A and B are shown apart, each in its own frame.
Chain A
Amino acid sequence: MTTVQTASDKRFYVEQFERLERELAGSDPAAVRHLRLAAIARFDQIGFPTSRNEDWRFTSVADLLKVPFHPAPRLEDSAVNEEDLEPFSFGEAIRLVFVNGRLIGRLSRISPLGPGVVPGGLADALVREPELLTDSLGRVADFKDQTFTALNSAFFRDGAVLVIPDGVAVEQPIHLLHVALGGATPWVSYPHNLIVLGRGSRVSVIESWVGLPLQAGQEPTFTAAVTEVLLAAESVLDHVRVQRENRQAFHFSNLAASLGTSARFTTHLVSLGGGWVRNESRVRFGGQNAEATVNGLYFGSGTQHVDNHTVIDHALPHCASHELYKGILDDRARGVFNGKIFVRQDAQKTDAKQTNQTLLLSDDAVINTKPQLEIFADDVKCTHGATVGNLNEDTLFYLRSRGLDVTEARALLTYAFANDIINRIAIEPVRQRLEALLLSRSGPLQEAQP
């Protein structure tokens, strides 16, 4: 599984950046330009990860490097229709739609969230109110050792900007719908979302990463996304991330969150699509008494490769984190779970729990799981557990003795296993849609198969 890499792989991206620089011609605010330059310089230093990199031990970037991806150009507004989006909708009133990382106003439903609060696009915001962003952009998504986050920070053009002022509670969930659309050449897009919650504010956000099935002559897409979340003291964010790209797609997304004092952050990942998938979640506690719930559900079938990488960093005392990741792997799919919990010296009274369960439905599927604890404080409660196995034979037998056939019984138990995560999603319409999707005859395992 060694990754053969050449300097030209790196060069290829660095040259693209030089073209971007010419194209932008200094139109960026100084701080943003600075960020791009620092990120590309870092990328130039670290290059692409190899299997010798502990964080990429089980996920090879070889296939990705074989495809000559070019930054996706701005498309006609009509490239995607309302009907194309229907399967991915949650019936939401407020949504921002992006195609290949650029905001499409025609498909979006934008209305004010409160006095003077309007969700919008990053590109637009950089022109209109750059000072609003320079403080927060790039503050949470660290790219020091992160190749793809560095690439995103260098190349991003657009994304969602959601700034909730102090004390504002937004009742309607906001849907950020990102569509990857293939073209005649392989396209890569670098969407960058920024979610900033003021003191005591509250909002629910759904982040969808979806793809339309490739048409004849369309090349695969690559999405290298970053979402930065900054939660001020006592703010509450309920977040759901749904990944339903097509089976040829390469998908990387890094959700990086920083929590202030007594902030509450809940995120649920549901990863269904994609061919090569890397879902990262990184949570840093920047205040005391904060609480994070980081749950995930991922499916792999066919030849999908799904890598889930989480880092929860307890740097301050009295914070709690709960993490539950479940995976279901069938056919020749390959799953990776890498969960890291840090409890630093000052983080006394930390309560951290991590659980990872994998259902292996086929002898050709592979799971690599690595739940890690790194603890430097003594007065803490930290546990992790991992299980790998198939459906419980006794339970299967019980269901069959009640009249279900093997296929039905297996489907029911698989559904129950997955639904344990879905049930925890608090955003009502999202939970209902996903539950229905799980139950649907085609089932998530067959989703978007060509």
Chain B
Amino acid sequence: MTTPTTTIEQLASREYKEGFYTDVEMETVPKGLNEDIIRLISAKKKEPDWLLEWRLKAYRHWLTMEEPRWWPNLTIGPIDYQDIIYYAAPKPRKALGSLDELDPEVRRTFEKLGISLEEQKRLAGVAVDAVFDSVSVATTFKEELARHGIIFCAFSEAVRDHPDLVRKYLGSVVPYNDNFFAALNSAVFSDGSFCYIPKGVRCPMELSTYFRINARETGQFERTLIICEEDAYVSYLEGCTAPMRDEHQLHAAVVELIAVGRNSHIKYSTVQNWYPGDKEGRGGIYNFVTKRGVCRGEGSKISWTQVETGSAITWKYPSVILQGDNSVGEFYSVALTKNRQQADTGTKMIHLGRNTRSTIVSKGISAGQGQNTYRGLVKIMKGAANSRNYSQCDSLLIGNRCGAHTFPYIEVRNSTSQVEHEASTSRIGEDQIFYCKQRGLSTEDAVNLIVNGFCKQVFLNLPMEFAVEAQKLLGVSLEGSVG
């Protein structure tokens, strides 16, 4: 009889179901990165001069920067930035105006991924912006949202139709020179989503973007900008997948959230399922993302929820700058690493305003030879009187070849604030497995059950549909043959 531990370890492998490739006619720019490429991307998108200048400024700054010194527990092969295609888009039949002009293959790709681009087929209540390699190919429910004064469109469209808003907020939270990958993104970003929720509007449906990397040798560099005015609310979701390939592909996105007004509220959820690479660590996405939000308004709130199951390497720290008095920041995260996946993720909560509050709940699951790191910063500045932070970081280890690392940084500069941090490490107990088996469950189901229980606090913060999706994703991620 195999011991539960070995059985659990065997469970930590499965087929990546989203790993197919779609053969569509593509339009790409030549490999490599230089000012001409940036001009070419900008010209393709018919951008105004100010944006091209901004890109070039970012590029010139990027040239002066060094690749980050990786944390010692991350092992990353060299990245050749001249060996990447920075723009790839399905060839439009005519101008991309309506869904009928979309390549049917692209549409079928999204349908295969469970994302229907036809409004009548979608569950009411979720609007989708679909991004295929470098461009947004469709956005649903635009008209209905427009009736509420909500702008939800592709980033390039926003540049064209709402240049003042874009110009005002682009780079206002993550400046072009913020870090190596943010600078790279600022130089070459191709598309992404743009949301604007006007004063007093509670967005009547979930807004979502589905990111698909399809083309070979490309990188995806999207940019998302969400602006929420006074008393407005939006819940935004993103999902991502990519084909299985032996080479690593780079994904370096930037997301900026601005809770501008009083009591504005942005909820941002991610289910990240980029191709994780194979068992030996061949291939998979390098997911190097800069996500940051600022709570400017009094009583405003930004909440990040993420379920990270994919990517060969994940390196992201969705953060909140709590500027407005009484503002609230939240971070809920589940990160699963198996085989040779590495995740280094966490958050930064910067308390500037008075009575600001932040909550961090991080659940890391390591299986196989996976390495899972929580790295977070809680900084309470002198002016942030009466502020509070509560952090909880739990790790679950499955097997004896993986690792769990917890690096919380806490800095407090005033005496009226309170910070509390707790961390624990556990494994799936053999007594728990036996109890479940005595009630008729298989080892596999027992493991899934326990893992889902471990993550519950985070799942509760996902919109219903995504919660189910995330739960399934964890389930299939750990699925495999039971010995």
Chain B, residues 270-305, CB within 8 Å of chain A (1/0): the string is 000000000000000000000000000000000000
Give CA–CA (A387, B415) in the complex, Å. 12
**Contact (Cβ within 8 A) A374 B403:** yes
Q: Contacting chain A: which of B113-121, B230-238, B418-426?
A: B418-426
With contacts A373-B405, A388-B410 taken as known, whether A380 is within 8 angstroms of B421 at the C-beta atoms is: no
Mark A residues whose CB is within 8 Å of B: 345, 348, 358, 360-390
Sorted nearest first, the 3 A-B pairs with minimum C-beta distance are A378-B397, A389-B418, A388-B419
Give CA–CA (A350, B402) in the complex, Å. 16
With contacts A370-B409, A375-B395, A379-B427 taken as known, whether A386 is within 8 angstroms of B415 at the C-beta atoms is: no
Contacts of A389 in B (CB 8 A): 417-420
CB-defined A-B contacts under 8 Å, sample of 28: A345-B400, A345-B401, A360-B412, A363-B415, A365-B415, A367-B410, A368-B411, A370-B410, A371-B421, A372-B408, A375-B425, A376-B400, A376-B402, A377-B400, A378-B5, A378-B400, A379-B427, A380-B425, A381-B425, A381-B426, A384-B422, A384-B423, A385-B422, A387-B419, A387-B421, A389-B418, A390-B416, A390-B418
Q: In whole Å, how far is B215's beta carbon from the nearest beta carbon of chain A?
A: 38
Give CA–CA (A287, B405) in the complex, Å. 24
Give CA–CA (A379, B397) in the complex, Å. 8
With contacts A367-B412, A368-B410, A378-B398 taken as known, whether A373 is within 8 angstroms of B423 at the C-beta atoms is: yes
Contacts of B5 in A (CB 8 A): 378
Give CA–CA (A362, B417) in the complex, Å. 11
Does B174 belong to the interface (CB within 8 Å)? no
**Contact (Cβ within 8 A) A390 B397:** no
**Contact (Cβ within 8 A) A386 B419:** yes
Contacts of B406 in A (CB 8 A): 371-374, 384
Q: In whole Å, how far is A286's beta carbon from the nearest beta carbon of chain B?
A: 21
**Contact (Cβ within 8 A) B403 A376:** yes
With contacts A370-B410, A374-B403 taken as known, whether A388 is within 8 angstroms of B417 at the C-beta atoms is: yes
**Set A348, A381, A385, A387: member contacting B423, Cβ < 8 A:** A385
Give CA–CA (A194, B416) in the complex, Å. 44
Mark B residues whose CB is within 8 Å of A: 5, 73, 382, 395, 397-427
With contacts A373-B404, A385-B423 taken as known, whether A368 is within 8 angstroms of B409 at the C-beta atoms is: yes
Contacts of B419 in A (CB 8 A): 386-389
Q: In whole Å, how far is B343's beta carbon from the nearest beta carbon of chain A?
A: 15
**Contact (Cβ within 8 A) B411 A363:** no
Q: In whole Å, how far is A104's beta carbon from the nearest beta carbon of chain B?
A: 43
**Contact (Cβ within 8 A) A386 B410:** yes
For B423, the closest partner residue in chain A by CB is A384
Give CA–CA (A377, B73) in the complex, Å. 16
For B420, the closest partner residue in chain A by CB is A387
For B9, the closest partner residue in chain A by CB is A378
Contacts of A348 in B (CB 8 A): 400
**Contact (Cβ within 8 A) A375 B411:** no
**Contact (Cβ within 8 A) A362 B415:** yes
Contacts of B424 in A (CB 8 A): 382-383
**Contact (Cβ within 8 A) A386 B400:** no
Contacts of A373 in B (CB 8 A): 395, 404-406, 423, 425
Q: In whole Å, how far is A354's beta carbon from the nearest beta carbon of chain B?
A: 9
Q: In whole Å, how far is B348's beta carbon from the nearest beta carbon of chain A?
A: 14
For B403, the closest partner residue in chain A by CB is A376
Q: In whole Å, how far is B279's beta carbon from the nearest beta carbon of chain A?
A: 19
With contacts A363-B414, A376-B403, A390-B415 taken as known, whether A382 is within 8 angstroms of B409 at the C-beta atoms is: no
**Contact (Cβ within 8 A) A371 B408:** yes
For B392, the closest partner residue in chain A by CB is A385
With contacts A374-B403, A386-B419, A387-B420 taken as known, whether A366 is within 8 angstroms of B413 at the C-beta atoms is: yes
For B396, the closest partner residue in chain A by CB is A378
**Contact (Cβ within 8 A) A360 B423:** no
With contacts A345-B401, A388-B418 taken as known, whether A382 is within 8 angstroms of B425 at the C-beta atoms is: yes
Q: In whole Å, how far is B230's beta carbon from the nearest beta carbon of chain A?
A: 31
For A393, the closest partner residue in chain B by CB is B416
Give CA–CA (A362, B410) in the complex, Å. 17
Give CA–CA (A385, B409) in the complex, Å. 12
Give CA–CA (A382, B417) in the complex, Å. 27
For A383, the closest partner residue in chain B by CB is B424
**Contact (Cβ within 8 A) B425 A386:** no
Contacts of A382 in B (CB 8 A): 424-425
With contacts A363-B414, A365-B415, A375-B395 taken as known, whether A370 is within 8 angstroms of B408 at the C-beta atoms is: yes
Given A378-B400, A390-B415, 13 more A-B residue pairs with CB atoms under 8 Å apart are A360-B417, A370-B409, A372-B405, A375-B395, A375-B404, A376-B403, A378-B427, A380-B425, A380-B427, A384-B422, A386-B408, A386-B410, A390-B416
